[in-house]
Structure 1
Amino acid sequence: MPLVSFAPPSLYLTLCTFLHRLLPSLPAPVRDVDIPSLFRERFILSGYRPVGLSWRCYILSLFQIHNETVNVWSHLLAAICVVMRFMVFTILQGGGFLGVRLQGPEGQGFSVDASSLPLVLYVLSAITYLSCSAAAHLFQSHSEEAHYSLFFLDYVGVAVHQYGCALALFLYSSDFAWTQSMLGQVFLPAAALLAWLSCTTCCYAKLCFRRPYPLHRKLCQVVPLGVAYLLDISPVAHRLMFHRWTNNPALQLHFLQVVLFLLSAFFFSCPIPEFFHPGSFDVIGHSHQLFHILLSFCTLAQQEALFEDFLRRRPALVRQFGEEHLLLACVSFLCLALCCTMTALAMKRKARGQLMKEQR
């Protein structure tokens, strides 16, 4: 009777060896006492990735179970959903939508489509903040300098999205009477200033306060963000208070995104449920994960609401605001992004100097 060999073929062994070298096994997550205090979170006792691994290890940790897995995937998947939904909406609405007209007035070339460009910038801002957040949580354990730099980048993404929301809500979701009010007249400059202030104060709080964090660190982060949100959402709040919701899916979606944002803000501000059971929600279920998930759904609901408002307002948008005003508002978006980026780079240099001073 012939013997049957169960030994794997040499090609299989070679492939396994190659994959083992290409994809090294990751070290197991560690407890909070095994990493520096900078990388610890209150009431989260385990599930941390070791500090100082190679960048490749942190990329591969995307497929590992640790206390940042949900944070990374929630915003990564949300960014993919935002892109795919926008592409579907673009296809359904036909050509000449992605911020440009494929044909100019004389039937050839292309020109800027001022009416849809703010919506494109909104989608770009959403992708930016979601991607920056995912990158920050994925790579922040590499080193102290990377930790500071990546979260400064995260705050830039948040500020950019704040102004992207403000721009889109002002142009697509506001009433004409509200835009002519005193608040409507100063809305965009004030929204840009508050977005930059939010980025600056969050960077400052991250750099200048050490654990255990005092209460005013959280206030330094939350208060500017809260004031900015109250301003940015004011066009929607006006419509929600003075218009009927019947047969108006946009207002229903706006109400949903407000509720989701308030819930996410609660979990961002309060370490619940891990406060009551430290160590029980380390990998799944702690407050920052709930904040990420709720904020992701908030963004998707807001995008859908803006799609509805865009379809309603697009025909009269250029006539109401003027093409020059719309283009100027879009340029202000790029200026705000540049200012926030420069602020983050300045904070990064300050953080590097502070770390070098501490290492002496």
Structure 2
Amino acid sequence: MMPRVSFAVPSPSLPSLPATVRDVDVPPLFRERFILSGYRPVGLSWRCYALSVFQIHNETLNVWSHLLAAACMTLRFTAFAVLGGGGVLGFRLLGPEGPGFSLDVSSLPLVLYVLSAVTYLSCSAAAHLFQSHSEEAHYSLFFLDYVGVAVYQYGAALALGLYSSDSTWTQSIVGQVQVFLPAAAFLAWLSCATCCYAKLHFRRTFPLHRKLCQLVPMAVAYLLDISPVAHRLATHRWSSSPALTLHFLQVALFLLSAFFFSCPIPERFFPGRFDIVGHGHQIFHFLLSLCTLVQQEALFHDFLWRRPALLRTFTEERLLLACTSFPFLTLCCVVTALAMRRRARQQLTKEQT
């Protein structure tokens, strides 16, 4: 009798994810005020946290809101680039002398803006997805999150200052490129540094000056970055451009998101009721994602409006210098985050001994 041979291919087994736990079951570092349940256990494998993107816990919507926003931004920009013609991505397939590549400097700030927005959304999603792995991972990932925020701040300032400004603002003291962009870069780095410092230095329960340490530099940076838009909204009829209505909407969405970032509402009044859906940080994520998508649409309009005259206004050399400052700022923020990560390691090692 011939032996029976099985050709069945074993199906890969996914690790079963442990159930979520209450706030008292995780170290204080991982707890959020007024959020009493829905926490993932600390110390699981990286794979478990990656798979927890499909699990219901108190970070699920924080992750998905920014992941979906990053995907929408990428798809929308790709569609705009294709439908908008050659050069939108920064390169032309057809140059004046025939087929080839030629750098289109006027579109590079738009490319850097989209890159910065996708970066901050992705870094935020990664931080909220993996931060429960360990205390060191928690600090490291949120430092990465702050780098993403700083990069986005400067990417937005670069695009808004070049595409969304009018001649009156660009001729003012603040609006001059050699003043506006260095100030925006410094404030973006300062926001990253102070957020990293506040995250490491202040412990739960957080004092008020911890929140101020985070919010004040970011608020000053936002006021500067949005100044070209604020000037246009104050001095132009909104019917003159569809971008102005979009700009007003993105400002309103940002201010509303800042409120929910600053205040743990509604969970403050109903502890435990909004653990999975509806707490303040989730609302902040949702509103900020909408703000970024609306801002991108406004910049598409402004890009098409300003592109023909951009090189005459700013010159190719100044545009290139402005764009090359983007990776320099990114490097400064990464170095700052790495330095703070080293301090976090030292602090954790000291506490364990």
Aligning the two structures, in what range does the TM-score lie when normalised by the shorter sequence? over 0.9
The amino acid of 2:221's aligned partner reads: A
1:197-218: CA deviation from partner (whole Å, max 9, x where unpaired): 0000000000111111110000
Aligned equivalents of 1:250 and 1:154: distance in 2? Answer: 29
- The equivalent residue for 2:40 is 49
**Alignment equivalent of 2:223, drawn from 221, 224, 230:** 230
Match of 1:140 in 2: 131
> How many angstroms does 1:111 deviate by?
2.1
Structure 2 partner of 1:240: 233
The offset of 1:148, in angstroms, is 0.3
Runs of 4+ in 1 over 2 A off after TM superposition: 101-109
| Residue deviations 1:301-329 (CA, integer Å, cap 9, x gap) | 00000000000000000111001110100
CA distance in 2, matches of 1:134, 1:191: 25
For residues 124-149 of structure 1, what are the alpha-carbon distances to aligned partners after superposition, in whole Å with 9 as ceiling and x for unaligned?
Answer: 00000000000000000000000000
Equivalent AA in structure 2 for residue 30 of structure 1: V
Aligned to 1:275: 268
**What is the aligned counterpart of 2:172 among 181, 184, 187?**
181
Alpha-carbon shift at residue 274 of structure 1 (Å) = 0.2
Shifted more, 100-109 versus 149-158: the winner is: 100-109
Shift of residue 108 of structure 1?
4.0
- Aligned residue identity for 1:148: Y
Separation (CA, whole Å) in 2 of partners of 1:59 and 1:226: 33
What is the TM-score when the length of structure 2 is the normalising length? 0.96
Report the equivalent of 1:5.
none
Which of these residues, 232, 238, 247, is aligned with residue 254 of structure 1?
247
Tell me the equivalent position of 2:206.
213
Matches within 5 A, 1:264-343: 264-343=257-336
CA distance in 2 between partners of 1:99 and 1:349 (Å): 37
Which residue does 2:98 correspond to in 1?
A: 107
Paired with 1:226 and 1:138, the residues of 2 have a C-alpha distance of 26
Q: Alignment partner for residue 58 of structure 1, among 27, 49, 68?
A: 49
Gaps of 5+ in 2: 1-5
Q: Distance between the aligned counterparts of 1:96 and 1:170, measured in 2? A: 20
Tell me the amino acid that sits aligned with residue 287 of structure 1.
G
Structure-1 residue corresponding to 2:344: 351
Identity of aligned residues (%): 77
Residue 243 of structure 1 aligns with an amino acid whose one-letter code is H
Q: TM-score, normalised by structure 1?
A: 0.94
Q: For 1:34 and 1:179, how far apart are their aligned partners in 2?
A: 55
**CA deviation vs aligned residue, 1:182-234 (integer Å, no higher than 9, x gap):** 11121111100000000000000001111111100000000000010000000
Q: Could you tell me which residue of structure 2 aligns to residue 97 of structure 1?
A: 88
Q: 1:133 to 1:27 in 2, by over 3 A?
A: same
Q: Distance in 1 between matches of 2:81 and 2:88?
A: 6
Amino acid at match of 1:123: V
Give the distance between the partners of 2:100 and 2:333, measured in 1 at CA.
34
Q: Whole-Å Cα distance in 2 between the matches of residues 96 and 206 of structure 1?
A: 42
Match of 1:195 in 2: 188
- The residue correspondences of 1:162-177 to structure 2 (distance < 5 A) are 162-177=153-168
Q: Deviations over 1:98-137 (max 9, x none)?
A: 1122244432431221000000000000000000000000
Distance 1:101 1:91 in 2: 12
Deviation digits for residues 234-262 of structure 1 (CA, Å, limit 9, x no counterpart): 00000000000115210000000000000
Q: Which residue of 2 aligns with 1:125?
A: 116
Who is 1:6 aligned against?
none
Paired position in structure 1 for 2:3: none
Residue 70 (structure 1) aligned to one of 57, 61, 65: 61
Aligned to 1:159: 150
Q: Which residue of 1 aligns with 2:19?
A: 28
Residues 288-310 of structure 1: per-residue CA shift (max 9 Å, x gap): 00000000000000000000000
1:46-65 per-residue CA deviation (whole Å, 9 max, x = no partner) reads 00000000000001100000
Structure 2 equivalent of residue 82 of structure 1:
73
Question: What root-mean-square deviation, in Å, do the aligned CA atoms of Structure 1 and Structure 2 show?
Answer: 1.2
Greater shift, 66-75 or 176-185, is seen at 176-185
**Cα distance in 1 for residues equivalent to 2:86 and 2:313:** 23
Structure 1: segments with no counterpart, 5+ residues: 1-9
